[in-house]
Chains A and B, each alone.
Chain A
Amino acid sequence: MPQQPVAEDDSTPVDGGTVIRRLQADINTLNPVLIASKYDHYVAAYLFTPLLQLDANLLPTTAGSLTDKYEVSPDGKLYTFHLNPKATFSDGTPVRASDAVFSLNKIVDPKSESAEFAGWFEKLDAAGTKALDDHTLVVAFKEARAPQLVSFNGVRVIPEHVYAKGDFKSAFGMSAVGSGPYRLVRRIPGKEILLERRSDYWGVPPHIQNVLFKIIGDDNTAWNALKRGDIDETIIGSDTWMNESRRPELQKTIDFRRFYMASYNFIAWSEHEPLLADKRVRRALAMCVDMQSVINGLYRGTARAMNGPFTPDQWSYNPEVPVIQFNPEGARQILNSMGWLDTDGDGILDKNGKPFSVEMIIAGGSSTSVAFTQLYQAELKKAGIDLKISPLDGGAYIQRLVSGNFQAAYASWDLDPDPDPNAIYHSSQFPPGGQNFVFYKNPAADALIDQGRHELDHAKRVAIYRQLHALLADDQPYTWTVQVSLKWALTKRIRNAKVSPGWGLFLWYPGELDWWIPKSQQTK
């Protein structure tokens, strides 16, 4: 039924009601170790409790976690967790430290194929990791790393007496026994997942009684479903945002939100390409990105410019680094000074008889990638640079990107909660095997990345990463372009839906676990 306009009478949280969430695709599994998509995470966040939560600023916290307190040894290799003795699984059994050891072992066992989490625990010292007693857990590592603490957010503890029986990879996709505030009522593949609040929950109980996930792949269908009140939240596209979010009759019942996630777009310049190996060339190419036109024209003002490798929402961000200004004439001057001149008068710069021409691979399915590269191509042409655009099918594009088989590529990263950039800029991470697919190598950057990785003092890490931010921005291994905001629509009966800078509405603590629905609107 259509929703009633919301009265402004209620400000105290009350229990009860059903929130209906949308999944863009069915989950792959309910097994929290095998998670492979963000939708799997969305559901797991209600059913399982991790060793540590992340707060709205993506910093580790014990609030809402299985841990009462934790200590890190001075050498940074031993983590001792004192688990909440009241914690129980949904089958009524207590959460023991041995269950956490079991969960960690399942994550690192290659046979589990835990692609999402195993990489975080590559340096786990399995022999030193043990349960001291029922509620004390020691996790040992062969090497101390500052980002390690955040990785405990991925350790959602599962009961050994349940998950040790049967084939781990296939037996727990449809059922769940966790220590989270909700229990699974049913999962109907392709249709829905229904959760209900545990009456025997040991932690701070949430307000919402039932959580129903409906699977709706099509964005248009989901937007219509939200308007009808069939669902309570959905991501919306830029068109819906532009055309519908200002309509007064919709604003009565729908809460429109816009926020930035920890992700950005960038142009990758391969340094295996002699033309692009000089940072002056990369800077000249960056000066040809007409950022204001891209933001206002392509994204209608719902994006913001990047100045380097970290986003404004990350604590590693350096606000003093300037955004490279659009200046095609300046770019041409830089290239002229390097001997690139238009000697044959064809409008394209050349040197030793070779024209300045670059091929850029893009994911052909993304209309904004296509539009961006076409705008960029036109600006580069004015500066005397020929850009060839190669749109590829998704799988082929990813394969060429991660193997470093390209001159230039337009891509985007979703960032991890910890800003450690080792995986993408350190010279030890060249493909195959690593993700430094631009083959960037600067000993000064390597040194700062190593320091940041091993510095356990947060304030000192901040200083290191700010320095690294300036250095990388100067070297331009990527030309970081924009962050594009996400747009969300929520029904107004949902109260206390807060946004984390960088993580959005979900998966941080308390986030979606702190929502509530006024009594008068709990039934519909």
Chain B
Amino acid sequence: MLTYVVRRLLYGVLTFFGITIAIFVLVHSVPGDPVSFYIGSHGMGALSHAALDEIRREHHLDQPIPQQYGWWLRGIVTFDFGTSFINHRPVTALIAEKLPSTFMLNLVAFLVAALIGVPIGLWSATRSGRTSERASGVAFFLLYSLPSFWVALLLMQLFSVHFHILPLFGMTSDDYLDRGLTSKVADRAMHLILPVVTLAYAQMAIYARFSKSALTEVIRQDFITTARAKGATSAAVLWHHALRNALIPLITLLGLTLPYLVSGSVIVEEIFQWDGIGRLYFDAISTRDYPTILGLSVATAVATLFASLLADILYAVADPRIRLEGK
């Protein structure tokens, strides 16, 4: 098991450096640089060339790309992601400021989606082919197909503008700082409802269909028939024999979902003014704020690597055969 983990870790480190090169080259090959953004957003006449040169010099933009990469890599291995072109704040501080909001929103959405979606999926696997299962399949497909920005606007119109029962946007109320602890928690929960629903409904549909098909696959196999033939109750068959074998595809899905906890969702964060990583990313890209784009890309890449490492370890826990192969 240990060699398995160490080997996965080494692959992870190599992949990380590959990713940094890819990100760096990609970001720098997009036409337009932060300085031309400055020129574009400031009216005629007010441009000081001395100031623009100073910006280029400070951020090493006047040097060849390989050297710029060197400067940047030297920074990130010491956890110095540089400072934003736009607001002169350290990128690490920006990420640290936005990360908790994004993490909280996506974690709640993930839990809601998984805790509702997976049981429904397992339930429908046991009644595969029946009308109720078919109907739920169609319903989930419809849910999955609804564009989230549209659903978000409908939810806002209904619950915030028409009925006035939920806040329209933001993470907290105006008087949040003056409230007591319970009231603060309640306020946060109220603000979470609409964005969580917007994020969770499509995810829930995916979880339901995914776990349904995973379990259906297993149920069809011979050892399940054997277990039934032994006289085990259908609940016992499901819990002891089928479920564990259906876990592998679910772990894969988990590994794919975890990076979203860090990377955030641009659309939902923008509509609900959720002050998280998604909005930061979007703003940074539209202003060509290289240090912020690069810092966020690295953070997301690390999260993805970590999630796939975690998934690899969980595979080994769930399925002893994978452990043996690793040796």
A interface residues (Cβ-Cβ under 8 A, vs B): 1-2, 25, 28-29, 34, 36-37, 108, 110-120, 122, 147, 169-170, 173, 189-192, 212, 214-218, 220-221, 224-225, 227-228, 230, 392-402, 413-416, 420-424, 433, 435
> What chain B residues lie within 8 Å of A216 (beta carbons)?
169, 273
Cβ contacts under 8 Å, A170 to chain B = 83, 88-90
B153 x A220 contact (CB < 8 A): yes
What residues of B have a CB within 8 angstroms of the CB of A147 in the complex? 45
Q: Whole-angstrom distance from the CB of B151 to the nearest CB of chain A?
A: 13
Q: Are A395 and B33 in contact, CB atoms less than 8 angstroms apart?
A: yes
- Name the CB-closest residue of B to A117: B46
How far is A416 from B157 in the complex, measured between Cα atoms in Å?
40
> Are A402 and B36 within 8 A (Cβ)?
yes
> B36 to A217, Cβ gap below 8 A?
no
B145 lies within 8 A of chain A by Cβ: no
**Interfacial chain A residues near B325, Cβ < 8 Å:** none
Does B231 touch A at the CB level, under 8 Å? no
Q: Which size bracket describes the interface of B in this complex?
A: 35 or more
**Are A115 and B168 in contact, with the CB atoms below 8 A?**
no
Question: Quick check: B44 and A423 within 8 Å, CB to CB?
Answer: yes
Q: Is the CB of B160 within 8 A of A228?
A: yes
CA–CA, A2 to B168, complex, Å? 13
Does B53 touch A at the CB level, under 8 Å? yes
List B contacts of A118 (CB < 8 A): 46, 48, 50-51
The complex places the Cα of A120 from the Cα of B48 at a distance, in Å, of: 8
Within 7-65 of B, Cβ neighbours of A (below 8 Å) are at 30-33, 36-55, 58
Q: Which of these, A1, A115, A214, contacts B51 with CB under 8 Å?
A: A115
Which residues of chain A come closer than 8 Å to B283, judged between CB atoms?
A: 25
Q: Is the CB of B275 within 8 A of A394?
A: no
**CA–CA, A393 and B30, complex, Å:** 9
Contact A116:B36 (CB < 8 A) given known A170-B89, A217-B279: no
B98 at interface by CB-CB < 8 Å: yes
Given contacts A28-B87, A399-B31, contact A190 B279 (CB under 8 A): yes
Complex-state Cα separation, A202 to B86, whole angstroms: 33
B148–chain A nearest beta-carbon distance, Å: 13
Contact (Cβ within 8 A) B55 A113:
yes
**Given A189-B97, A420-B45, A422-B45; A221-B156 close (CB under 8 Å):** yes
**CB neighbours of B160 from chain A (8 A):** 224, 228
B interface residues with partner A (beta carbon < 8 Å): 30-33, 36-55, 58, 83, 86-90, 97-98, 153, 156-157, 160-161, 164, 168-172, 174, 270-273, 275, 279, 283, 286, 288
From B157, which residue of chain A is reached at the shortest CB distance? A224
Cross-chain contact B43 with A396 (CB below 8 angstroms): no
Contacts of B153 in A (CB 8 A): 220
Instruction: Report whether A111 and B54 are in contact in the complex, using a CB–CB cutoff of 8 Å.
Output: yes
Closest 4 CB pairs of A and B: A395-B32, A190-B275, A118-B48, A396-B31
User: Which residues on the A side are within 8 Å of B39 (C-beta)?
Assistant: 398, 402, 435
Q: Which residues of A contact B32 (CB under 8 A)?
A: 393-399
Chain A residues lying within 8 Å of B41, measured Cβ to Cβ, are 36-37
Q: List 17 A-B contacts (CB under 8 A).
A: A28-B88, A34-B88, A37-B41, A110-B53, A115-B55, A116-B46, A118-B51, A119-B45, A122-B48, A170-B88, A221-B271, A228-B160, A393-B30, A395-B32, A399-B33, A433-B49, A435-B39
Shortest CB-to-CB span from A276 to chain B, Å, is: 22
Q: Are A413 and B44 in contact (CB-based, < 8 A)?
A: yes
Whether the Cβ atoms of A173 and B169 lie closer than 8 Å is no
Q: Cβ of A173 and Cβ of B46 under 8 Å apart?
A: no
Roughly how many angstroms separate A506 CA and B134 CA in the complex, as a whole number?
A: 59
Whether A402 lies near B50 (C-beta < 8 A) is no
Do B30 and A395 touch (CB < 8 A)?
yes
> Is there contact, CB below 8 Å, between A435 and B272?
no
B48, A169: Cβ atoms under 8 Å? no
Greatest chain A CB density within 10 A among B37, B46, B164 is at: B46
B40, B42, B44, B89: which contacts A424 (Cβ < 8 A)? B44
Q: Are B37 and A398 in touch, CB under 8 angstroms?
A: yes
B272 — which chain A residues lie within 8 A by C-beta?
221
User: Closest A-chain residue to B46, C-beta based?
Assistant: A119
Partner of A114, one of B48, B83, B90, B273: B48
Alpha-carbon distance A434/B41, docked complex (angstroms): 15
Which chain B residue has the least Cβ–Cβ distance from A154? B46
A228→B153 CA distance, assembly (Å): 15
